[in-house]
């Protein structure tokens, strides 16, 4: 059966874009999730925090914005506020003046911007605790100035949906973030599918194919592998399909969807 796609106009990272989702994904994954979160928030009788975690280029930002839009168009759903974790990068000045040790080599943090080490996890932890209160402000990452803007957004809604790569990372410091969620979703994807998406994204920003592939090897690819290998189990898991669609994985199905990396296959 041919898929039916729904086109949506949304503002993503400050730009109006047309995106598409299958009618099946909206009807069988997104709307049921919003119904579940509405019920969960009602039972909790307070603001709830929901994580949408995924490796780079798996579509998490677009999905989060879609879920916010769908929640506001249906009076049966409690309004969702979609927020990104990118506003908790360390400031650019800090990244350009601090180094970390990786594989025995000192590396300027700015050279691996976007890696888990380049985030101010303590600040994000404090803000997530605050977000459960009656009102707080949220940091954003401004892609024009390429830096963090602190307390740029006022957050008042009762369902706070935070999207990001490392929200479920089962590593030191990040476990303090993971335990603050009331509900979690993780998106799996085949590494080779994300590779081409990330290379294409860099080429659109002006890099040559060779430069984009090199950036993937030294930065994006390492982040993809880390997220897929080291993220903790979520309340529900979705899978990105080659055509850009999503399916929801059942527990028993997840056992047959293991991610295999080249270095694992060689061992």
Question: What would the pLDDT profile of 117-174 be if each residue is shown by its tens digit?
Answer: 999 999 999 999 998 877 789 999 998 888 999 999 999 999 999 999 999 999 999 9
Beta-strand runs (E) in the chain: 5-12, 15-22, 48-53, 80-84, 99-102, 105-108, 136-142, 147-155, 159-164, 183-188, 236-240, 246-249
pLDDT score recorded for residue 201: 85
Is the pLDDT score of 261 beyond 70?
Answer: no
Closest among 192, 174, 194, 195 to 184, alpha carbons compared: 174
Please tell me the number of Cα atoms within 13 Å of 150 on its side-chain side. 7
Between strands 183-188 and 236-240, the pairing is: parallel
Please, which residues bridge with residue 155 across strands?
Answer: 136
Provide the token pair at 96: 């350009």
pTM: 0.89
Confidence of residue 251 (pLDDT cuts 50, 70, 90): low
Closest among 219, 200, 248 to 55, alpha carbons compared: 219
Angle at 85 between CA 81 and CA 221, to 5 degrees: 130
Task: Judge contact between 82 and 179, C-beta under 8 A.
Answer: no
Between strands 147-155 and 136-142, the pairing is: antiparallel
pLDDT score recorded for residue 256: 32
Between strands 147-155 and 15-22, the pairing is: unpaired
Task: Judge contact between 82 and 68, C-beta under 8 A.
Answer: yes
Average pLDDT over residues 172-194: 95
DSSP string for 166-226: STTB-STTHHHHHTT-SEEEEEE--HHHHHHHHHHHHHHTT--HHHHHHHIIIIIHHHHHH
């Amino acid at each position: 059966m041919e898929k039916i796609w729904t086109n949506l106009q949304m503002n993503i990272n400050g730009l109006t874009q047309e995106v598409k989702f299958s009618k099946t994904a909206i009807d069988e994954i997104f709307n049921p999730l919003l119904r579940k979160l509405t019920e969960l928030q009602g039972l909790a009788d307070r603001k709830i925090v929901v994580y949408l975690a995924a490796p780079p280029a798996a579509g998490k930002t677009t999905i989060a914005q879609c879920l916010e839009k769908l929640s506001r168009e249906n009076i049966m759903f409690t309004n969702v506020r979609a927020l990104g974790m990118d506003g908790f990068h360390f400031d650019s000045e800090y990244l350009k003046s601090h180094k970390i040790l990786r594989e025995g080599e000192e590396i300027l943090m700015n050279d691996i911007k976007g890696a888990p080490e380049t985030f101010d996890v303590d600040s994000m932890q404090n803000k997530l605790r605050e977000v459960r209160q009656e009102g707080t402000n949220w940091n954003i990452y401004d892609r024009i100035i390429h830096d963090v803007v602190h307390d740029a957004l006022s957050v008042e809604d009762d369902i706070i949906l935070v999207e990001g790569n490392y929200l479920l990372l089962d590593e030191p410091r990040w476990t303090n973030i993971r335990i603050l969620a009331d509900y979690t979703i993780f998106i799996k994807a085949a590494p080779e599918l994300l590779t081409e998406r990330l290379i294409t994204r860099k080429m659109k920003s002006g890099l040559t194919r060779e430069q984009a592939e090199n950036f993937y090897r030294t930065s994006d690819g390492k982040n993809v592998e880390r997220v897929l290998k080291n993220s903790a189990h979520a309340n529900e898991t979705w899978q990105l399909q080659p055509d850009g669609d999503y399916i929801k994985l059942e527990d028993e199905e997840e056992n047959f969807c293991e991610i295999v990396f080249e270095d694992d296959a060689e061992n």
